[in-house]
Amino acid sequence: MIYDFPRYLAAKKTVDDRALNAHVWQTLRQHLPPQPAILEIGAGIGTMVERLIEQRFITSASYTAIDNQAENIATARQRLTHLPSGIHLTLEAIDLFAFIEREQGQRPYDLLIAHAFLDLMDIPATLPLLFSRLKPGGLFYFSINFDGVTTLEPTIDPILDAQIEQLYHQTMDERLTGGRPSGDSRSGRHLFTHLRQAGAHILAAGGSDWVVFAKPDIHPAGYPADEKYFLQFIVETMHRALAEHPALDNAQFEDWIRQRQAQIEAGELVYIAHQLDFVGRWPGKDFKSLQGNSFIIREKQDF
C-alpha cells in the first residue's frame, strides 16, 4: 500500500461530508457575517474551502488557509484553480505557531476554522493563541474532534480488538511533536471545558462520527468514492502506531492487521470513529475579564 497523505485527505472528504454535524453546520451558516475574513488552520489539501463554496456557504470571502506540509498546500493549489470571483484565497505552507506570531497586530478574522486538527494539538495551550486572531465576537468552527472510540467490525478477537483500540488511543495521548504534547484521544468531550476556560461561548455542539461501510450496489470495492483507500490508510496508520509495541505479541498483531486488510478487500470492514463538532463565539478578552469581575462581585455579595 502506498502511504499517500494528500490522497488520504482527498478520500476523507466524502466520509467527512456524511459525518459533519448538520445542526452545528447550520448554526455556523446562520451566524456567518457577509463577506467574512476566514482563517483555516491545518487546512490540508483545501477540502473545507471547497465544501464551503460547493454548498454556497460563502460566495464572497477572503479565505486564508495554512498547513505546515508543503505537499498539502501544493495539492490544494492544484485542486482550487477555478474559484468564484468573490473568493480571495491565500494558501500558505507555514507552521501554525510561526503564522500566529507573524500575524500579531494584523487585521483579525471573523471566523476561525480547524477541521480534523485540534485533536493533534495541546488544546488548552493552543486555544488562547488561536483566539488572539479573532475579532471580539468572532466565530470558531472546530469540527471532527476525535472522541475516544475507534470501532472496527466484524470482531476478530474481542480481547485483542479492545487492547489494540486502547493502545492506539494511548499513542495519541502520549504523542509529542517538537517536544510539545500534541494529542488527546478524548479531545471532543474535553473541548467543552477547554473552550469555557478559554472564555469562549459554545453556540452548538454535536456528534460527527465517521461511519464507513461497503454497499452491495457499489462495484468493485463496495466502498463509495475512494473510501477503500481511506480504510487502508486508517489500518496502516494503526499498524505504524503499534508496530513492535511492547504490550503486544508482534506476530499476533501482524496477523490482526492482515485480517483487517482482507476484510477491506472483501468489503466486510466497517469503521466507526466517534467525533464531535463545535461552533461558537469568542467574546473577546475584555468581555472575558468583565465576566470574571462580575463573578467576583457576585461572590462577595454572597458573604
Ligand X SMILES: C[S@@+](CC[C@H](N)C(=O)[O-])C[C@H]1O[C@@H](n2cnc3c(N)ncnc32)[C@H](O)[C@@H]1O
List C-alpha distances in Å: 74 to 40, 46, 92.
16, 10, 9
User: Binding of ligand X at residue 43 (CB under 6 A)?
Assistant: yes
- Whichever of 233 and 253 has its CB closer to ligand X, that residue is 233
Angle at 290 between CA 287 and CA 295, to 5 degrees: 130
Closest distance of CB 161 from ligand X, Å:
24
- Whichever of 115 and 133 has its CB closer to ligand X, that residue is 115
Closest distance of CB 248 from ligand X, Å:
25
Closest distance of CB 72 from ligand X, Å:
5
Closest distance of CB 245 from ligand X, Å:
22
CA dist 12 and 230 (Å) reads 6
Q: What is the CA radius of gyration of the chain?
A: 21
Q: Which helix (H) or strand (E) holds 292?
A: helix 285-302
- Whichever of 11 and 253 has its CB closer to ligand X, that residue is 11
DSSP designation for 113: E
Closest distance of CB 26 from ligand X, Å:
20
CA dist 41 and 143 (Å) reads 12
Q: Which helix (H) or strand (E) holds 40?
A: strand 37-41
- Whichever of 66 and 212 has its CB closer to ligand X, that residue is 66
Instruction: Select from 47, 75, 126, 150 the one that contacts ligand X (CB under 6 A).
Output: 47
User: How many residues form the binding site for ligand X (CB under 6 A)?
Assistant: 17
CA dist 295 and 303 (Å) reads 13
User: Binding of ligand X at residue 275 (CB under 6 A)?
Assistant: no
- Whichever of 161 and 186 has its CB closer to ligand X, that residue is 186
For 245, left (φ over 0), alpha (ψ -120 to 50), or beta?
beta
- The pattern of x and - marking residues 180 through 199 that bind ligand X according to CB under 6 A reads --------------------
Name which of residues 91 to 120 contact ligand X (CB under 6 A): 95-96, 115-117, 120
Q: Which amino acid is at 20?
A: L
123: exposed, middle or buried (Cβ count in 10 Å: 0-12, 13-18, 19+): buried
- In DSSP notation, 205-218 reads EEE--EEE---TTS
User: Binding of ligand X at residue 67 (CB under 6 A)?
Assistant: yes
- Whichever of 32 and 48 has its CB closer to ligand X, that residue is 48
Instruction: Select from 68, 163, 237, 259 the one that contacts ligand X (CB under 6 A).
Output: 68
Q: Give 258's contacts (C-beta < 8 A, 6+ positions apart).
A: none
Closest distance of CB 5 from ligand X, Å:
7
Binding positions for ligand X, rule: CB under 6 A:
9, 12, 42-44, 47, 66-69, 72, 95-96, 115-117, 120
